[in-house]
Structure 1
């Protein structure tokens, strides 16, 4: 048989067969059962959402990786690239945030992102969200839950790196770094090594749209007058009706100017960079690390974020977690733009990126960016199920169900064959009629490849049951 004009699967996606689906089903059941015992209820938001939902507070890298398109009504929609924004949208839309209680949700399913590096554009995720509680005890809980579940699947202790992006925000606020400059620094946090290159950082800043002139930083937008920006907005709104669906021109303009406006000097900017570099390059045990950061920021911050981080991590001992599996990473910011304080990653064996299989954090300001008039406390984590299973030492439980095939070579025996099928299915076995084979040798080979337990052949009133 020759293929002609064949249509292959889309790049980055795989066909899933029975064995793969069995693993995912097993993982899903284990996770939902585990999280239910901690008080979480399963939910399932739509797989497609308005694209603006994911653009409001997401990192720009993920915005470019969205699977977005226009639906038949003309609305710009996207396959979900993560669950958190959809769950927050649901909470706001259904007015669930007005309830005087924590909202605890669990989920399991696929997310979709165009990934040029991994050649895999979907991820099977399991995760949880807690909405409505700002007590740091809940921060400890989500780390503990993710750790203990992962330990069950891995058959060994995972590793956790924990940070608090609020510490970095406090430093940048002290030096009066603008919102756009802050975004640049967080995006390029890996460039702030102990021997960072100031000239290289200035080049990256220029590419980002930040310019230093006569010792002062000038945002790109400041090179245009408000009148010129107004003209640009008028043109965009007139020619793109979707542009102003969520905000009017004045709010867009004010927000643009607020984010870009700055009176930061070059010296001030790099003094901030120097402090950030000292903090994020600390690699010591928990007690020594907290003490050293406290000394660096003693005149900069009230240390509330640092104290919270310390208490969150120390309380992990209450869950029986060995703190030797935990390290503090002050340069951990994760990819999404909505994290506001706690952030953490989960690894196996070592803290290398190829051993990373999950993580999460707190995002109290996401609700406000999606339409609320104030912050809504929220936090959560997600695990890459497929990756976690690939590291697992636990074998899937063996199923005692037998696969029994009735070979039908004479149509006159059909009724008898079907009766046997019904009897075997009532016993809990898998049973069906096979009519394709007329060669015993080929049948045996096929039976072994497909893990058939028994083949039944019919010869008049005689029934021959043969184990494979």
Structure 2
């Protein structure tokens, strides 16, 4: 028996309906903020991703050659393709541009709880609003989307300017090493790395910055930075909206990719893989042949959000089973059509079940049985039965539809 590939999943109806419900909530919330949905190709030229992340990412991607010998890759994330699309298709649009997307992504990595080889990412990108107001909007949008989906999580917001200011005199390779050690909270390794380059005096301000929880505390450690006013304005906006978050200047994600504000969100019940969102301000358009335009965005791990939300609820819609005889099947199809046109999930017997077998099956799968036998067909009526109570009545098709709609029992 063939099995699905490792790191992929099958979704049964209850789970699929739950996913679609949460997708709709996220899309609707994003649209309320002015973010309209776009879609990019599932595969792109491999260079799109190596330009952004370097050749080392190839080992983490699903790559292939097409019949023309072109090196292609299934998308490992959403942002690069969105900015490529902006450069190709939207350079003349009025700014800022507000886009969102829900894309399936592919990465070749070890599957575990909340981490799959095929996964879905909900993202949003704000292009052309390189301002503290833009930074604040993206953070508030992300929080609104996650809260609207029903997720309780911890939000951490930072800015790279104070950290960059402290590390400004280090060689690039040393700076990369120091940032990686800070990201892992490896203070012993940090001390050794700074000692090796005779910059041990940086250890104290770096570790102190990780504990700073207000802009004032951060500036007291690193001194005034050119972005000081921008950071203060962003924080002022976020506080004015009552946002629940932790200011964390120790966030060091993607130093070479992000240019300023950065943020992350974590759910409590996911174990080690507990990050559900990451984002920040960046400049990618120039890398892909466009102008140097500031952007800001985020990616939500849609699958991790659903895992964090817990058990999948059963489908809540009302189900009607139309019961009939061979002689009244045409009438039964017409009755079923009336219920479906009213937006009611309606199922017909498709097997050689007798009347008793149909009723027994309806008791397992439906909330109401609607009998459309020969007698009902001759009178243009149906017999409506509430299966939970056993109550039944003969009525017109319209009255039966109204009874199901209003929850008659």
Match of 2:351 among 427, 432, 436: 436
Q: Which residue of 2 aligns with 1:22?
A: 17
Match of 1:189 among 182, 187, 204: 182
TM-score (norm 2): 0.80
Q: Which residue of 2 aligns with 1:129?
A: 125
- Give the Cα separation in 2 of the matches to 1:449 and 1:47: 41
**Gap regions ≥5 residues in structure 1:** 1-5, 203-264
Q: Which residue of 2 aligns with 1:453?
A: 367
Q: Which residue of 2 aligns with 1:424?
A: 339
Say whether 1:294 aligns with 2:212. Answer: no
Say whether 1:150 aligns with 2:146. Answer: yes
- Give the Cα separation in 2 of the matches to 1:276 and 1:64: 36
- Kindly report which structure 2 residues correspond to 1:154-173, keeping only aligned pairs within 5 A, or say none: 154=150, 158-173=153-168
CA contact (8 A) 1:346 1:357 kept: yes
- Give the Cα separation in 1 of the matches to 2:255 and 2:66: 26
How far did 1:435 drift?
2.9
Say whether 1:340 aligns with 2:259. Answer: yes
Say whether 1:386 aligns with 2:382. Answer: no
How far did 1:14 drift?
0.8
- Kindly report which structure 2 residues correspond to 1:26-425, keeping only aligned pairs within 5 A, or say none: 26-58=21-53, 62-94=57-89, 96-118=90-112, 120-154=116-150, 158-175=153-170, 177-178=171-172, 180-191=173-184, 193-196=186-189, 198=191, 266-268=196-198, 270-271=199-200, 274=203, 277-282=206-211, 284-286=212-214, 290-298=215-223, 302-321=224-243, 325-334=244-253, 338-348=257-267, 354-364=273-283, 366-372=284-290, 375-392=292-309, 402-407=318-323, 410=326, 412-425=327-340
- Give the Cα separation in 1 of the matches to 2:270 and 2:339: 50
How far did 1:140 drift?
1.0
CA contact (8 A) 1:130 1:380 kept: yes
CA contact (8 A) 2:209 2:218 kept: no
- Give the Cα separation in 2 of the matches to 1:59 and 1:190: 20
- Give the Cα separation in 2 of the matches to 1:79 and 1:143: 28
CA contact (8 A) 1:332 1:344 kept: yes
Q: Which residue of 1 aligns with 2:391?
A: none
CA contact (8 A) 1:49 1:78 kept: yes
- Give the Cα separation in 2 of the matches to 1:68 and 1:358: 25
**Gap regions ≥5 residues in structure 2:** 377-381, 388-409
1:136-172 CA-partner distances (Å, limit 9, x unpaired): 111011111111232233275x421112223333333
CA contact (8 A) 2:280 2:297 kept: yes
How far did 1:385 drift?
2.7
1:76-101 CA-partner distances (Å, limit 9, x unpaired): 1122111111110011112x334452
CA contact (8 A) 1:160 1:345 kept: yes
Aligned residues: 380
1:156-195 CA-partner distances (Å, limit 9, x unpaired): 5x421112223333333323x12x4433333343355444
Greater relative contact order, per chain length (Cα 8 Å cut-off, separation 6+): 1
Provide the aligned C-alpha RMSD in A.
3.4
- Give the Cα separation in 2 of the matches to 1:25 and 1:114: 26
Q: 1:306 to 1:341 in 2, by over 3 A?
A: same
- Give the Cα separation in 2 of the matches to 1:351 and 1:189: 23
- Give the Cα separation in 1 of the matches to 2:55 and 2:70: 21
CA contact (8 A) 2:324 2:355 kept: no
TM-score (norm 1): 0.70
1:31-54 CA-partner distances (Å, limit 9, x unpaired): 222222222221111111111111
CA contact (8 A) 2:129 2:295 kept: yes
Secondary structure of 1:174's aligned partner? coil
CA contact (8 A) 1:168 1:276 kept: no
Secondary structure of 2:33's aligned partner? coil
- Give the Cα separation in 2 of the matches to 1:449 and 1:40: 43
